[in-house]
Amino acid sequence: MKIAVIGTGYVGLVAGTCFAESGHEVTCIDVNPRKIQALRRGEVPIYEPGLEELVRRNAAAGRLHFTEELAGAVGPAQVVFIAVGTPEGETGRADLQYVLAAAEQVGRALRQYTVIVDKSTVPVGTADKVHEVIARHTRCEFDVVSNPEFLKEGAALEDFLKPDRVVIGTRSERARKLMAELYAPFVRTESPILFMDPCSAELTKYAANAMLATRISFMNDMAALCEKVGADVEQVRKGMGADKRIGYSFLHPGIGYGGSCFPKDVKALTATARDVGLEFDLLRAVENTNARQKRCLLTKALRHFGDLSERTFAVWGLAFKPKTDDMREAPSVELIEGLLGKGARVQCHDPVAVESARRYFGDRVLYAPTCYAAAEGADAIFLVTEWNEFRHPDLKRLKATMKSPTLFDGRNVIDPRLAREEGFTYFGIGRPSAS
């Protein structure tokens, strides 16, 4: 099958590469010539484990191509995926200008019956808008399908190649059969393809992310309560998660969620509800808790040290989560800006996100090559992102190189008992903080 994918961002590049891996001929399109040239050289602009190898392999096999020419790629394609950005607008609603611009270009380029797939995260009703735009510019038969993505950064290839489920929104039997054929290689382990109407498919993506964000914020509220009453949120989490109706996923307290999906999608779903006269009070509370949680480590440091000026702090982890270099809405940004604003010096380390961090902080912070180098002479360490290399540090080595052995564990990944035995003052999230 010939496939065209418009947009070589996170979603488009992963989807296009995985479809090529399953034997289809895929052309990925982007308006950025430098990005296209880099991809043709096998250079992937995002960090995702295994993706660069897969891109190079499928390009070498002649199944994966990159171009700036949309018409030449869309014309012969049987399926066209629109995977462009939908940034957050001023009111919290998703901005559809890039989706609708792509739809117009697709309409002008169609030469045969084609299924056009909304792969970008889009609000309810977008499939109808895309259909209307395309219909203005073509007499060819076509169908518009909603096919939201459920990829986790850092595990995107596994999620795409072995999905929990595939959601497809369409009212067309012809499009349904084509999409079922396209996804057949990925659901051989009995993962379901869930066919539904386009509006339900569009809403499913937002509902899933909003539920996960809600679980995170609920546990962060529980962590705040645990600190007030002297309980340990890790014990509470274990007791909750053992209930099969609840489970353990997304019950880890921390310093808030970030990334390109949860913050934007929670706001967009709240805006959608408001548009039809509903006030989504629960999601407003989720947002408020997350905003508060991003400030919690700075609050703990101010309570412990008082004046932060002229102090030096190490920040371990810059990306919003492990296995990515994505710093969009990352808790580290608010923490570091808060420390700098209080007159502190910041020495930071992240295994892959340093170049991303430079776009945020420039030369206002020191970028250390290792976590130990970041801790040299520091008054405290802030553990922000739970990379594996931060889970079992040499505490004796750290204590010997730090100015004062203080640890603010924003992800509860270090055993507080071991830290205290080595002479550290330990502050976790929702855990007893005595030194």
Is residue 289 marked as binding?
no
Is residue 186 marked as binding?
no
Annotation marks residue 261 as catalytic: yes
Alpha-carbon torsion, ordered 421, 427, 431, 433, to 10 deg: 70
Q: What is the DSSP string of 295-311?
A: THHHHHHHHHHS--TT-
* 366-367: strand order across its sheet: 366-367, 345-349, 312-316, 380-383, 406-409, 425-427
Is residue 153 marked as binding?
yes
Is residue 253 marked as binding?
yes
DSSP state of 152: P
The span from the CA of 405 to the CA of 412, in Å, is: 17
Is residue 12 marked as binding?
no
Is residue 121 marked as binding?
yes
Is residue 152 marked as binding?
yes
DSSP H or E run through 159 = helix 156-161
| 3-class SS of residue 182 | helix
The span from the CA of 23 to the CA of 4, in Å, is: 14
Is residue 349 marked as binding?
no
Is residue 320 marked as binding?
no
Is residue 264 marked as binding?
yes
Is residue 270 marked as binding?
no
The span from the CA of 364 to the CA of 340, in Å, is: 8
Is residue 251 marked as binding?
yes
Enumerate the H helices of 251-329 as residue ranges: 262-275, 281-293, 296-305
Is residue 205 marked as binding?
yes
410 neighbors 384 (Cβ within 8 angstroms) = yes
Active-site choice (226, 261, 348, 371)? 261
Is residue 342 marked as binding?
no
The span from the CA of 214 to the CA of 262, in Å, is: 10
Q: Residue holding tokens 């209930």?
A: 243
The span from the CA of 91 to the CA of 77, in Å, is: 36
Annotated binding site for substrate: 150-153, 205, 250-254, 258, 321
| Binding site residue list for NAD(+) | 30, 35, 86, 121, 153, 264, 328
Positions marked catalytic: 261
Annotated binding-site residue numbers: 30, 35, 86, 121, 150-153, 205, 250-254, 258, 264, 321, 328
